[in-house]
């Protein structure tokens, strides 16, 4: 369990205060430490306003109470003797460069531990608590980093996800200006892409909840074996504002990973596909190559030929319910359609309930180049084109000059009109003579 998770879950004690100072020194630049410990309001004010990282650091649960204290101190007295509140420095919830570096660290983690599936599940379980019928943040749930708190990790549906948090915590510690909410979604999206899945149109800037009291109540995520699987899936996913197509596409994430009886109660302890790992051995996968993101989940749950492959009641419903079936059949035969729909649905899921700073969020992928558009160059047709002979060129020039044209002097504009009139008159005269 991450230290800051536990610390933030309880109120600070004197012993904790000293450990917080130690912990704070790991996160804060030295000038800022001086600012937090200084008794001079003036020093605090000037250092705080000159440090753009301060607002970002407030997202750390470990430091949140330090900042709550500091925020109060930031109300200073102006020269006129009236109270004024200092404007906080402009800073997004997460830092774009740090997110990019964190992404590289996640790629390394994936290469070494093959933890793609559990990172995807972590991102989904943070976002999937969203309730579109609740307007207030964070009561509405969703991608807000609340899953880092022990109280939520203990929900039955989240069994085992503490392991995903443990894997990510060192990356969180390294990048103080990346929120948990962003890190969870970044890790999940990177895992999908690194496993061979589609590029996901992600955005970042999610604000973190700051206390365990802000976690959603248990019971918002789907059950794998409810009495009526299709209507249960609709109840849960419609509450998130998702539709049938998105339910089926997102279920395709089970192309990755395994179910473990000791966690969810579902699946076999091991199968021929999982007994040797990669990663920790055991569990039952939905697909043979359970670290490869493709459309095999839909093929396998449709065929149901291999008893070593898992089909949960909610998976089976995708080929039993007529509306779900339409999409499941399509995805089983066309991976491109699945990838397109999955990418859209995953990005939508990752934004559910999130509060973005800046409000529109931001991308960490290279934006299209802003420079001049490339000059259009027509194709050069070389085949079949024949140069006119010199004799022919001379003949054409002579005829052109015979009409009164020359290379320096273009023909009068009404020249062709006159020709047309003459031809017209000749045609009329000929027809009259013929009659």
What are the residues binding ligand HEM (CB under 6 A)? 117-118, 120-121, 124, 160, 222, 224, 233, 250-251, 253-254, 256-260, 263-264, 266, 312, 314
Shortest separation between residue 164's beta carbon and ligand HEM, angstroms: 8
Between 74 and 189, CB nearer to ligand HEM: 189
Question: 195: which 2 tokens?
Answer: 């496993």
Question: 383: which 2 tokens?
Answer: 């085949």
Between 57 and 167, CB nearer to ligand HEM: 167
Distances (CA, A) of 150 to 4, 5, 215, 409: 11, 7, 10, 89
State residue 85 phi and psi, 5-degree precision. Answer: -105, 130
Shortest separation between residue 53's beta carbon and ligand HEM, angstroms: 33
From the centroid of its chain, how far is CA 14? 41
Q: How far apart are alpha carbons 12 and 19 in whole angstroms?
A: 10
Shortest separation between residue 117's beta carbon and ligand HEM, angstroms: 3
Q: Which residue number places its CB atom closest to ligand HEM? A: 257
Between 65 and 254, CB nearer to ligand HEM: 254
Between 251 and 351, CB nearer to ligand HEM: 251
Q: How far apart are alpha carbons 225 and 17 in whole angstroms?
A: 46
Burial zone of 186 (CB within 10 Å; 0-12 exposed, 13-18 middle, 19+ buried) = buried
Shortest separation between residue 217's beta carbon and ligand HEM, angstroms: 18
DSSP for 180-207, please give it: HHHHHHHHHHHHHHHTT-PPP---B-BP
CA neighbor of 346 nearest in space, from 192, 145, 157, 146: 192
CA neighbor of 201 nearest in space, from 341, 329, 385: 341
Burial zone of 48 (CB within 10 Å; 0-12 exposed, 13-18 middle, 19+ buried) = buried
Dihedral sign computed on CA atoms, order 333, 352, 238, 217: positive
Between 148 and 258, CB nearer to ligand HEM: 258
Shortest separation between residue 357's beta carbon and ligand HEM, angstroms: 25
Q: How far apart are alpha carbons 26 and 427 in whole angstroms?
A: 98
∠ Cα 209 141 134 (to 5°) = 120
Between 98 and 284, CB nearer to ligand HEM: 284
116 a catalytic residue: no
User: Pick the catalytic residue: 65, 125, 155, 254?
Assistant: 125
Strand runs (DSSP E) across 347-429, as ranges?
Answer: none
Shortest separation between residue 382's beta carbon and ligand HEM, angstroms: 52
Strand runs (DSSP E) across 234-345, as ranges?
Answer: 258-259, 284-285
Shortest separation between residue 247's beta carbon and ligand HEM, angstroms: 6
Q: What region does 405 belong to: left with phi over 0, alpha with psi -120 to 50, or beta? A: beta
Between 93 and 120, CB nearer to ligand HEM: 120
Do the Cβ atoms of 93 and 205 come closer than 8 Å? yes
Shortest separation between residue 370's beta carbon and ligand HEM, angstroms: 34
Question: 134: which 2 tokens?
Answer: 């609740």
Between 137 and 266, CB nearer to ligand HEM: 266
Catalytically active residues are 125
């Amino acid at each position: 369990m991450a230290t800051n998770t536990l610390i933030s879950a309880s109120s600070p004690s004197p012993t904790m205060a000293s450990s917080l100072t130690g912990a704070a020194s790991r996160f804060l630049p030295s000038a800022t430490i001086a600012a937090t410990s200084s008794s001079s309001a003036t020093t605090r004010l000037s250092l705080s306003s000159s440090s753009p990282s301060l607002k970002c650091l407030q997202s750390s649960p470990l430091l949140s109470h330090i900042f709550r204290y500091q925020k109060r101190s930031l109300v200073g007295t102006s020269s006129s003797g009236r109270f004024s509140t200092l404007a906080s420095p402009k800073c997004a919830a997460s830092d774009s460069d740090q997110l990019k570096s964190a992404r590289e660290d996640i790629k390394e983690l994936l290469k070494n531990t093959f933890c793609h599936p559990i990172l995807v599940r972590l991102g989904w379980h943070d976002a999937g608590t969203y309730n579109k019928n609740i307007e207030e943040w964070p009561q509405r749930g969703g991608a807000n980093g609340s899953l880092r708190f022990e109280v939520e990790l203990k929900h039955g549906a989240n069994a085992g996800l503490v392991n995903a948090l443990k894997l990510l915590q060192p990356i969180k510690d390294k990048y103080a200006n990346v929120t948990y909410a962003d890190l969870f979604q970044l890790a999940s999206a990177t895992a999908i892409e690194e496993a061979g899945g589609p590029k996901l149109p992600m955005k970042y800037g999610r604000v973190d909840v700051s206390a365990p009291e802000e976690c959603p109540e248990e019971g918002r995520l789907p059950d794998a074996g409810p009495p009526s699987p299709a209507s249960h899936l609709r109840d849960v996913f419609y509450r998130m504002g998702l539709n049938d197509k998105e339910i089926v596409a997102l279920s395709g994430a089970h192309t990755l990973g395994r179910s473990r009886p000791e966690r969810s109660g579902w699946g076999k302890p091991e199968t021929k596909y999982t007994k040797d790992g990669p990663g920790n051995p055991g569990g039952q996968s939905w697909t043979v190559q359970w670290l490869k993101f493709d459309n095999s989940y839909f093929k396998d749950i449709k065929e149901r030929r291999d008893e070593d492959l898992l089909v949960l009641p909610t998976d089976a419903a995708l080929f039993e319910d007529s509306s779900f079936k339409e999409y499941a059949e399509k995805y089983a035969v066309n991976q491109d359609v699945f990838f397109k729909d999955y990418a859209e649905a995953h990005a939508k899921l990752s934004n559910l309930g999130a509060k973005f700073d800046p409000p529109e969020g931001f991308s960490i992928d290279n934006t299209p180049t802003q420079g001049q558009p490339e000059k259009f160059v027509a194709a050069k047709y070389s085949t079949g084109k024949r140069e006119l002979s010199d004799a022919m060129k001379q003949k054409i020039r002579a005829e052109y000059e015979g009409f009164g044209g020359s290379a320096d002097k273009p023909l009068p504009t009404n020249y062709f009109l006159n020709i047309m009139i003459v031809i017209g008159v000749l045609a009329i005269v000929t027809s009259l003579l013929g009659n």
